[in-house]
């Protein structure tokens, strides 16, 4: 586990100098002590990021953390909002030196691991950080306060998505899932590569109808549990 945490910290250090060049998704890989083929994926939107490690062969979830980020020169500062291995890190800030090229992220320090760019946020009709802000049930809209500590956030790059459920007050991590996505003719499709609550969901594809109404993303279809859903997502400021 210590090795995983070290790799995680290294991944978080591997981000560049210009914030506009960081937006998008990045991928790295390594072999665990047990010989597992692990994949690390980082998604950056404006102001928010998430890093996740999972088994590239089986989809077994290993780790996730994330929160807010900002750059000052070549120094990145991140404030942790969720962390699956150490809840005590929630609420803390950490700063480190960073470097980036057009195609790779590299650590400034002793580790020489490289993360390759997956996308730069495009085409990404839904690129950005979103918070669950409501549901429609039986034709009635039920809104929720997105400022409350308990949050469900979804971060999308141009091709990657991840949702995370967590509580910033209790520091609890509730669950996460992610993979690739497409948006074609009003249809939003998620191709699941990892799911913390149930590894067997990896490899499944879920199709939804989506639309934008007054800046809000309406997400309609059937959940991974087979239940009908109509979710409302708002851009996280």
pLDDT given for residue 201 in this prediction? 93
For the record, the structure tokens of 85 come out as 């291995």
pLDDT given for residue 224 in this prediction? 85
Q: Which fold has domain 128-235?
A: Lipocalin (2.40.128)
Alpha helices per DSSP H over 37-133: none
pLDDT given for residue 15 in this prediction? 39
pLDDT given for residue 91 in this prediction? 97
Q: Is 223 exposed, middle or buried (0-12, 13-18, 19+ CB in 10 A)?
A: exposed
Residue ranges, CATH 2.40.128.280, the chain: 2-119
pLDDT given for residue 6 in this prediction? 47
For the record, the structure tokens of 202 come out as 């990896």
pLDDT given for residue 20 in this prediction? 54
**What are the phi and psi torsion angles at 125 (to 5°)?**
-60, -25
pLDDT given for residue 16 in this prediction? 37
28 upstream amide cis, omega within 30 of 0: no
Residue ranges, CATH 2.40.128.490, the chain: 128-235
10-residue mean pLDDT profile of the chain (237 residues): values are 48 45 92 93 95 96 96 84 97 86 75 81 92 95 96 98 98 98 96 95 96 96 92 97
Helix (H) or strand (E) holding 50: strand 48-55
pLDDT given for residue 228 in this prediction? 94
Tell me the three state secondary structure of residue 59: coil
Tell me the three state secondary structure of residue 87: helix
**Pick from 72, 70, 76, 64: which is nearest to 106 by CA?**
76
Instruction: Tell me the pTM.
Output: 0.89
2-119 maps to which CATH number? 2.40.128.280
């Amino acid at each position: 586990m210590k090795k995983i945490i070290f790799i995680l910290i290294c991944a978080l250090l591997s981000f560049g100098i210009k914030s506009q060049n960081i937006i998008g998704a990045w991928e790295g890989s390594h072999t665990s002590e047990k010989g597992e083929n692990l994949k690390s994926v980082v998604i950056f939107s404006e102001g928010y990021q998430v890093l996740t490690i999972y088994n590239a062969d089986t989809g077994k979830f290993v780790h996730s953390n994330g929160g807010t980020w900002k750059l000052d020169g070549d120094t990145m500062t991140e404030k942790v909002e969720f962390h699956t291995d150490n809840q005590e890190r929630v609420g803390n800030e950490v700063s480190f030196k960073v470097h980036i090229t057009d195609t790779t992220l590299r650590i400034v320090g002793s580790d020489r691991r490289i993360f390759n760019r997956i996308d730069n946020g495009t085409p990404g009709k839904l690129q950005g950080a979103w918070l669950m802000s409501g549901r429609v049930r039986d034709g009635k809209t039920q809104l929720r306060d997105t400022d409350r500590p308990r949050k469900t956030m979804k971060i999308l790059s141009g091709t990657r998505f991840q949702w995370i459920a967590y509580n910033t007050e209790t520091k609890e991590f509730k669950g996460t899932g992610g993979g690739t996505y497409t948006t074609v003719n009003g249809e939003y499709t998620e191709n699941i590569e990892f799911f913390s609550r149930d590894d067997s969901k990896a490899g499944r594809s879920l199709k939804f109808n989506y639309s934008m109404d007054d800046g809000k993303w309406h997400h309609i279809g059937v959940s991974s549990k087979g239940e009908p859903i109509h979710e409302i997502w708002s851009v996280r400021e």
